[in-house]
Amino acid sequence: MTNYWDLMEKDVVNIKNGEIMGRFDDVEIDTKAGKIQAFYIEEAGKFMGMLGKSKAKRVKWEEILKIGMDVVIVNVDDDINNRAIKDMLE
């Protein structure tokens, strides 16, 4: 079992291309259902928004394959860069 703060310290790796996507920095919760819907990853290389604007990447709960000791393995499509905005509009 893990907690929120431990999860935020793990690198997120996409199994499709081996890319280290960054780290989770926010969570989306369905308060009516009491379930996590998604996590958001700030673009790698950005530090607290100080190195310019960044786009958050949205990773759906269903796309998380494994939460390991050091990394979180996810399976996401290449269109993830456009997903956060598109999902918010739906």
Domains belonging to the chain, first-starting first, are: 4-89 (2.30.30.240)
* pLDDT at residue 56, rounded to an integer: 80
User: pLDDT tens digits for 49-85?
Assistant: 555 555 688 999 999 999 999 999 999 986 665 555 4
Which long-range contacts does 31-35 make (Cβ < 8 Å, 24+ apart)?
Answer: 35/61
Q: Is the pLDDT of residue 36 over 70?
A: yes
* pLDDT at residue 40, rounded to an integer: 93
Calculate the alpha carbon distances from 47 to 22, 25, 27, 39 in Å. Answer: 11, 11, 18, 18
Q: What is the pTM of this model?
A: 0.74
Above pLDDT 70, what percent of the chain? 71
